[in-house]
Amino acid sequence: MVTSVTSTTDTSAASAAMKKSIGMNKDDFLKLFIEQLKNQDPLKPTDASQMLSQLSQLTQVEQAYNTNTNLTNLLAAQNSTNTMTSVSFIGKTVKANGNSASFDGASPTSLQFNLSVPTDSASVAITDAAGRAVRTVTLGTQAAGDGSLTWDGRNSSGDLLPAGAYNFTVTGTTAAGASIAATTYTAGRIDGVALVNGNPSLTIGAASVLLADVISIKGV
């Protein structure tokens, strides 16, 4: 019963959209078709094959509108499913592609990254939400693979920064002197879900990541 009502509603919506777009839907054409048959000149009858061809073309257009409406409904249902899936992540720790880190104003936060090759040295540049540099930390020799820096939330002068979302980049220098940019991650405990342009976004304090960017999840 529900499926039937939804189908009828979708067809009506498509028909209305079609009429708004081209000024006529299939029902309007049928009425016009019948009136033409009623009032045609008996000596010069209307070419029925031509009118049927026009009706067929109009039907194909309406079917295209129906298809677009159904696709829109499918996408809406998918977004709803993704949102419900996102809610189940609350309280879990995730690792996602990104370069944001949330600082709560007191507790140190972990800045995670991955280097594709070993480096003789590396540096982590931290900026605030406005893009202003707040601190650069120099690291020693780094092995290839995952690495991290525990940042205490202080700037280059040693002052404690306010709570908020900060960005960071990591670069390294190989033994041959080549500069390497590390892959950075946004990681932490999920405490909420928000919709960004219809897409679910997981919040980690002041930072956030899209569901599509999550690469690993750990339980509580």
Lowest mean pLDDT among 45-49, 113-117, 170-174, 195-199: 45-49
Kindly give, in sequence order, each residue whose CB lies less than 8 Å from that of residue 131, ignoring residues fewer than 6 positions away: 167
Whole-number CA gyration radius for the chain: 30
pLDDT-derived band at 22 (thresholds 50, 70, 90) equals: low
**Average per-residue pLDDT for the chain:** 80
More confident residue, 29 or 73: 29
Q: What is the pLDDT of residues 75-112, one digit of tens each?
A: 555 555 556 667 778 899 999 999 999 999 999 999 99
Fold of 93-218: Immunoglobulin-like (2.60.40)
Average of per-residue pLDDT across 125-150: 95
H-helix or E-strand spanning residue 181: strand 179-181
d(CA 133, CA 143): 26
pLDDT-derived band at 1 (thresholds 50, 70, 90) equals: very low
